[in-house]
Structure 1
Amino acid sequence: MRQKMDNEKNDPSCKSSDLKISNISIQVVSVPGKLPGRRPPRKPIGKPRPRKQPKKRAPFWNVQNKIILFTAFLFILAVTAWTLLWLYISKTESKDAFYFVGMFRITNIEFLPEYRQKESREFLSMAKTVQQVVNLVYTTSAFSKFYKQSVVADVSSNNKGGLLVHFWIVFVMPHAKGHIFCEECVAAILKDSIQTSIINRTSVGSLQGLAVDMDSVVLNAGLRSDYSSAVGSDNGCSRYLYADHLTLRYPLEISATSGQLMCHFKLVAIVGYLIRLSIESIQLEADNCITDSLTVYDSLLPIRSAILYRICEPTRTLMSFVSTNNLMLVTLKSPYVRRLAGIRAYFEVIPEQKCESTILVKEINSFEGKISSPYYPSYYPPKCKCTWTFQTSLSTLGIALKFYNYSITKKSAKGCEHGWWEINEHMYCGSYMDHETIFRVPSPLVHIQLQCSSRLSDKPLLVEYGGYNISQPCPAGSFRCSSGLCVPQAQRCDGVNDCFDESDELFCVTVKPACNSSIFRQHGPLVCDGFRDCEDGQDEQNCTRSIPCTSRTFKCGNDICFRKQNAQCDGIVDCPDGSDEEGCGCSRSSSFLHRIVGGSDSQEGTWPWQVSLHFVGSAYCGASVISREWLLSAAHCFHGNRLSDPTPWTAHLGMYVQGNAKFVSPVRRIVVHEYYNSQTFDYDIALLQLSIAWPETLKQLIQPICIPPAGQKVRSGEKCWVTGWGRRHETDSKGSPVLQQAEVELIDQTVCVSTYGIITSRMLCAGVMSGKSDACKGDSGGPLSCRRKSDGKWILTGIVSWGHGCGRPNFPGVYTRVSNFVPWIHKYVPSLL
């Protein structure tokens, strides 16, 4: 009652009459012993009093209560909407996060054992430094508003020295714009931020103060599940194992019967050694690696381009894999384990093997020894290389190679999936099959080089070798299959595939030449062509040079037939009148005599084979015209994903002043030598095919330069010319607008090696030991032109490759020795033959 009264007294909206009624009412109901409002009112005695009107109760759904309820409803609705919105944003952010995983090598910082401990001050300091550098790179890039963070996962030692940093980069953006995050785009931003040295011509450059090896930079798109495991938010089954004993086997064993299995084994060995992982058994669901897989990486993070091998089905056969560095990552994924799943394996530390040897072969028609792929019987690692040199005891013996479940065939332009072979400068591709093959090399001296696949580890190879009689590769009464196998002659054309490749069943209706026929001896097309077609050799007996030439010989200008194949245009005068070297399409002009020693502006039209290569509209490298549609340049001009794409390149021919070319063509194709080494610049050569062949009407301004004969010997002290639009001084900031020329001399190879130390037989030095005459940046890929005294032709002796500075005393320029690549050039440009 007090509360109600006080409320009414304090309510300014109440009238005075209301107050009186209220007071009276209070007096009536407040009689002692009476409970107000609990019984009916008394009847009046005497004069009736006015009947009191009962107070009306306020209805529940009045305006005030409605406002309160509506306000509460809006509050609950807002809280619910905010919660749902927060959940949606959180869920949307996870879907629209893009993860990239990568690594690079820092060359000028020594590794400390404390870097292995993620909680150590040393690791945290280094991780913070690298993250700050990567943050700066991407916050100042075109992706800055989408960039979220970078996380350093591992800092490890490596066999090349310095630190190997493994890291993650995270971007967040609307799902509809996710297509702009291509690997090449994100990687290009990082690589373009590395400032390489123009003077030293090395791959190590500065990344915001860190000395980073450009060639070590790898960046691939990654998975969120891998990111969670790497940064520690979803560790699951993750182990870091360091091995420092050569004689121990470190076990890797884990299994599960239900749930999920997500394991990461990071394996690290001591510096200078490799890791061999041996898998004894593995239980997986065979589903082509859609969900279940065991993957071996040549890194400490799941970088796709560093995959060594992937297993997608259960196996109990021992398999082993070798890393290319001192680290390895093994991931085992089975998100839906329905039965026993797991792995039994071990790893060990092994030394790096040198796969090269010189072998003397003595036996005839039998196999006396074996060679194998590196680390046999392990799968051989990618990018490995083996070299074998075979020497027979007799000049009449060749080398026979018997491959087990493997075969080699002539290499095509598509490349080789399972390794490529160079056998006496001829290229072959390897492939696996279900039977053995024999390959014979008809030479007493055989040089063999195996270049392993550049993508994944591959099955081990075992090859037997032995000698054979070159004149009779198969025993008497046998037939030689195209694969090299020998089968009995009686089994040929019997309807049975004895050669595996069906070569014994091909051409079975072909009739051998009637060598005993007088008609054959007099008019046969195979007579006196320089090839022995009859068993007794009568087709080549009593031959004279007056016999008409055939398709397999070359006819000199005086009707003399020269039996040597490919004698024409090989740079060697075989015909007495020199007609075999005439009309070969390379420049012989004798007007190029006046030069200014030390480098100067050339005269227009002086070097008609000189080409300027433009990348995205800017002059970048040089090249040389060798045919109507082919150019020769340096491989390092096209090293990298963007530079190897021919689309941004254009070739400017017949040009004297930059921008005033007589002919411009887009580049259709770039063929970089498969052995090119970006560390040493070995095999620094590339072919470019033009989209449009230059017209014959411009032959006075555009002429090809001659390719030297294979194995051409050069003389030290010989004068040659280097040309290009590159920088005229080492400190120049841009190239020359006018084509420059400088006379240099060929330097003795011994002096060249003593100067640089890493000179191979595929390089040569040229310059002036006192300095001042040299190539420089922008001249790369251009010609080193030497004039042959015998016929006045200009020969492409070298290709501008590398050197220490430009024109420094005692540091001549280093050029690619073109004569060592003639067979390689002819393989792609057969018109030069």
Structure 2
Amino acid sequence: METAREESAQGSEDDAAQEDATSVADVSVEVATVDATLNKLCRRYNRRRRRAKKIKKKNPILDLQNLAILITVVVFVIVVIMWSLLWVFIFRRESNSGVYFAGMFRVANVEFIPEYRHADSSEFVSMANRIQHVITSVYRTSSVSRLYKQTVISDLSNNNQGGVLVHFWMIFVVPHLKGPSVCEDCVSAILKDSVHMSLKNRSSVGFLQGLPVDIDSILVNVALRSDYSSTAVGSQCVDKLYAGVPDVSIPLNVFSSWGGLSCYIKLTSAPGSVIRLTVKSFRIDPSDCVYDALTVYDSLLPMRGMILFRFCEPVSAPISLVSTSNVMLLSFRLTQGNKIFQGLFQALMEEQCMNMIALPAGPGDAGVITSPFNPSLLPRQCSCTWMFQMPSSALGVALRFQNYMLKLKDLQNCEHGWWKVNEIIYCGNYVDHSTVFRIPAQNPEVVFRCSSRSAAQPFSATYSSYNTSQPCPEGHFLCSTGLCVEKFRRCDGLDDCQDESDEIFCSKPPKICESSSPLHPLYICNGEMDCSSGKDEINCTQETSCSGVSYQCGNGACILKKNAKCDGLPDCYDRSDEKDCACGNPTPSKRVSDSAATQQRIVGGINALEGEWPWQVSMHFSGQLYCGASALSDEWLISAAHCFSKERLADPRMWMAHLGMLNQGNAKHVAEIRRFVVHEYYNARNFDYDIALVQLKKAWPSSLAQYIQPICLPAPSQTFTEGHRCWVTGWGYRSEQDKVLPTVLQKAEVSIISQSECKRSYGAISPRMLCAGVPSGEQDACRGDSGGPLSCQAHSGGRWFLTGIVSWGSGCGRPNLPGVYTRVAKFIDWIQRHIQNL
């Protein structure tokens, strides 16, 4: 089974993640109030007592008054203390035991009136009371009747499908030690079962105790108590805006320069329209939405299942997104500081996306098709149909996408677009290169439907006609990506097809050193003496045309030398190849003894030395080793995307980075995490684009340079021939069956394997992956090593480069099934863009 090499976090997650924790500050305020009252009354009594002593007269009336005051004070203090204890231990406990749900459904066959938009109108109150009574009746007679507390109708909105869309809160009281828990699916099922019993004639509308409800519209999500209190009627930080006229822009501006802010803006528009939100500028501190965030919901309540998009980073260029109906909720969470949001929203009338396209017979691009609402992000739900008409049965339609590709649908759902082309289903995926999809039919019908859980990147494609009997021009090779490249480019060492289909399964080019004809580009200036005469390694600083196998200098010029970066020789005219080379040069301690080095083995590994791999980082989730990482600078680490891509793993507050560590538990520096940057095209199904950046909250001190040092990033042209020896390191398991992690950092030597052999082993290998291992499988990475480095030297004694990131594999240490690594050289521009801009 192909698995990511990650270590499952141990222990269950805290149940308090689903509700707010008890506030110690709230309790201390009550206690302080009692103490203050008691002290105040005691001081008053003591002053009167002192005055009585000064008079030195025994007045029985005054003694009775003092006694009455004393008794009153004692009784008052006892009452206050009892009430405080009652509130803290009973009422407060009941409040903390509350489980909150946000939900919505459509009431059909009911006419929406404008007064429903105002919660203080008698019409709203009347309808809300009716719906509330119905929901209460359903749950009072259900299996959770003892736990049900109340329902609160938050909003009534018009709906593009007709009727009234109801947004509501439900509250259950679940004592921590008594009664069963209330699950999200259970609460939703109670509503659906009540409606399902009355469905007739395949209609989706049934009756909820006489209330016509669309069963397909029922959605219930667990929510936080803070969300409920923040959006409740009468809240001071909830604003409602209405767009009644299509295409009229309504400005939105939010400023938070005087402290923290947590507010909501509810947007609605006229029936038959959708809402387009445009974010022009958003100044926040990037923190993975933990502190500063703008969350956009496809509803009027903060429901997890209706999240349209989350802004977790500053926005400089405008971004727009579209709702699926005529409602939208903006949830702002801004911490202290000068935080600014500027944007606008407008109503857009719904349009049928259906196009008839007639193509000319001649060559060349004929036009462009785009995703709905382009250049806005794709909504969660949408549909578009294009019907092409060709002038001849010998012609088909070619769609050239810029950052998108179509593949036949398998047993899994389509996560980035569902396509039907002449009754055949395809799934869309985002990539960072062009692809061509050909339809060999005269009059094809192409249907597209949105299928992402949230707003997705838009796409566009140029369409043209092509000869179905000869897709590519004469003298060209047809790539698996649909691109056409010249035949002479096959097996030239360059990935012209963008998926290596022109480079795999090529016979190794001969080394013709004695001939006057030039050597194959693979052998020229690759750092190895392929010809005894050395002719392949001369004139390597000579400028050449820029390509994937040439090194590009800082001034834009390219030279023949492939591994010129940080090799100790200034090869570029501007000497840019030797800049930023304070990396990859460890100073390990001396080995204690050979026997100590072989005490613990991790799939053929041995103990590392102190300071031998100073860029190695151990990433701990909830206090346990989960993944590895590599240091790129004093602020940034690099790891695998699959370590942080799941929702429960995306919270940086749950992670700690242990740097400068040989033995687990003895790190020289432990750092909190500020944020993760997971590659936007990461594919959890095949681990393509499996790369992520990790930003530390605080840089590690320079005094620890002996133990903590960044590893060098390779140049995009970096190349290592098959068999080149590299090292993989980590604290992962020693075998597939092992259940005990080693305490000492392990290292194992592995060899680079050709892409052809890699594809023979696994099949689905992208150009952004590489394989490394040994034929016997005895040296390999395993679970717990994910995200760690595959470190390589271009030559003995040179600097170490981060050639790969531990990504996935079939088991651990299996023969002829090497480890699969993320090819770092393919992501240099992506890495530098994020590190320099953030």
Using the size of structure 2 for normalisation, the TM-score is 0.51
Provide the C-alpha distance between the structure 2 equivalents of 1:197 and 1:91, rounded to a whole number of angstroms. 41
Query: Would you say 1:291 and 2:280 are equivalent positions?
Result: no
Partner in structure 2 of residue 375 of structure 1: 373
1:395 maps to what in 2? 393
- Whether the 8 Å CA contact 2:298–2:325 is kept in 1: the answer is yes
* Alignment of 1:227 onto 2:228: yes
Q: Which amino acid aligns with 2:359?
A: V
Is the aligned partner of 1:261 residue 2:254?
A: no
| Distance change in 2, residues 1:411/1:285 (3 Å) | same
Q: CA 1:296–1:363 in structure 2 vs 1: closer, same or farther (change >3 Å)?
A: farther
Alpha-carbon distance between aligned partners in 2 of 1:256 and 1:361, rounded to the nearest angstrom: 54
* TM-superposed deviation, 1:71: 12
The 5 Å alignment of 1:320-469 reads 320-334=320-334, 336-337=335-336, 339-469=337-467
Question: Paired residue for 1:270?
Answer: 270
Please state if 1:158 is matched with 2:159. yes
| Letter matched to residue 436 of structure 2 | I
**Deviation for aligned residue 1:489:** 1.3
**1:442 Cα offset (Å):** 2.1
Q: Label 1:101 to 1:123 Cα distance change in 2 as closer, same or farther (>3 A).
A: same
Matched with 1:92 is 93
Q: Distance between the aligned counterparts of 1:363 and 1:159, measured in 2? A: 42
| Partner AA of 2:474 in structure 1 | A
1:195-250 deviations in Å (ceiling 9; x for gaps): 554543311111112111111111111111221122235x2431111111124210
Instruction: Tell me which amino acid in the other structure corresponds to 1:240.
Output: K
Report the secondary structure of 1:217's partner residue: strand
Q: Is the 1:275–1:323 contact (alpha carbons within 8 Å) kept by the matching residues of 2?
A: yes
Structure 1, unmatched stretches of 5+, are 1-36, 39-64, 512-833
How far 1:502 sits from its partner (Å)?
0.9
The answer for the alignment partner of 1:174 in structure 2 is 175
**Hey, what does 1:728 align to over in structure 2?**
none
Q: 1:483: how far off?
A: 0.2
Deviation at 1:80, TM superposition (A): 2.4
Q: Deviations over 1:394-432 (max 9, x none)?
A: 222121110011111121111211012112222221111
Query: 2:502 — aligned with what?
Result: 504
Distance in 2 separating the partners of 1:348 and 1:295 = 18
Tell me how far 1:505 sits from its aligned partner: 0.4
Per-residue Cα deviation, 1:436-483 (whole angstroms, up to 9, x for no partner) = 111112222222111211522211111100011122211122212110
Q: In structure 1, what is the equivalent of residue 492 of structure 2?
A: 494
**Contact 1:409/1:429, CA 8 A, preserved across alignment:** yes
Distance, in Å, in 1 between the alignment partners of 2:160 and 2:136 is 28
Please give the secondary structure, in 1, of the residue aligned with 2:470: coil
Pick closer, same or farther for the CA change 1:209–1:329 going to 2, 3 Å. Answer: same
How far 1:74 moved relative to its partner? 8.9
Q: Indicate the SS of the match to 1:362.
A: coil
Structure 1 residues 207 and 406 mapped into 2: Cα distance closer, same or farther (>3 Å)?
same
Aligned to 1:105: 106
Greater C-alpha radius of gyration: 1
Q: Give the conservation status (yes or no) of the 8 Å contact 1:403–1:437.
A: yes
Tell me the secondary structure at the aligned position of residue 502 of structure 2: helix
Read off the aligned partner of 2:395 and give its amino acid letter.
L
Contact 1:116 1:156 in 2 (8 A): yes
Q: Does 1:319 align with 2:325?
A: no
> In structure 2, what is the Cα distance between the partners aligned to 1:240 and 1:123?
15
Instruction: Report deviation, 1:128.
Output: 0.9
CA contact (8 A) 2:154 2:233 kept: no
* CA shift in 2, pair 1:179/1:221, >3 Å: farther
Q: Are the equivalent residues in 2 in contact too, given 1:196–1:204 (CA < 8 A)?
A: no
**Residue 464 and residue 126 in structure 1: after superposition, are their counterparts in 2 closer, same or farther (change >3 A)?**
same
- How far apart, CA to CA, are the structure 1 residues paired with 2:76 and 2:393? 100
Residues 174, 180 of structure 2: 8 Å contact kept: no
For the 8 Å contact 2:395–2:468, the answer to whether it is kept is: yes
Q: Any idea what SS the aligned residue of 2:245 has? A: coil
Q: Deviations over 1:238-288 (max 9, x none)?
A: 111111112421011111124212121111111111111111111222222
Residue 344 of structure 1 deviates from its aligned partner by: 0.7
Q: Is the 8 A contact 1:365 1:469 kept in 2?
A: no
Native 8 Å contact 2:111 2:163 kept in 1: yes
Identity of aligned residues (%): 47
1:237 equivalent in alignment to 2:241: no
Maintained 8 Å contact 2:361/2:392: no
Q: How does 1:555-704 map to 2 (within 5 A)?
A: none
Gaps of 5+ in 2: 1-55, 58-65, 510-838
Quick one: which amino acid aligns to residue 358 of structure 1?
A: M
Q: Identify the structure with bigger relative contact order (alpha carbons < 8 Å, sequence gap 6+).
A: 2
Q: Secondary structure of 1:128's partner?
A: helix
Deviations 1:723-762 (A, max 9, x none): xxxxxxxxxxxxxxxxxxxxxxxxxxxxxxxxxxxxxxxx
Letter of the 1:379 counterpart: L
Matches within 5 A, 1:505-524: 505-509=503-507
Displacement after TM superposition at 1:169 (Å)? 0.5
Change (3 A) 1:456 1:75: closer
Name 2:816's counterpart in structure 1: none
In 2: Cα distance, 1:244 partner to 1:411 partner: 41
Partners of 1:72 and 1:271 lie apart in 2 by 64
RMSD: 2.8
Report how many residues are paired.
447
**Residues 353 and 374 of structure 1 are in contact (CA less than 8 Å); yes or no, is this contact kept in structure 2?**
no
Query: Deviation digits for residues 630-658 of structure 1, max 9, x if unmatched?
Result: xxxxxxxxxxxxxxxxxxxxxxxxxxxxx
Structure-2 residue corresponding to 1:190: 191
Query: What is the alpha-carbon distance in structure 2 between the residues aligned to residue 363 and residue 422 of structure 1?
Result: 25
Rounded to whole Å, the distance in 1 between the matches of 2:345 and 2:179 is 40
SS of residue paired to 1:483: coil
Distance 1:467 1:90 in 2: 72
Q: Find the aligned partners of 1:281 and 1:198 in 2 and give their Cα distance.
A: 48
Task: Confirm or deny: 8 A CA contact 2:353 2:383 kept in the other structure.
Answer: yes
Partner of 1:259, secondary structure, is coil
SS in 1 for 2:95: helix
Q: Is the partner of 1:245 in helix, strand or coil? A: coil
Q: Is the 8 A contact 1:385 1:450 kept in 2?
A: yes
Cα distance in 1, alignment partners of residues 254 and 478 from structure 2: 52
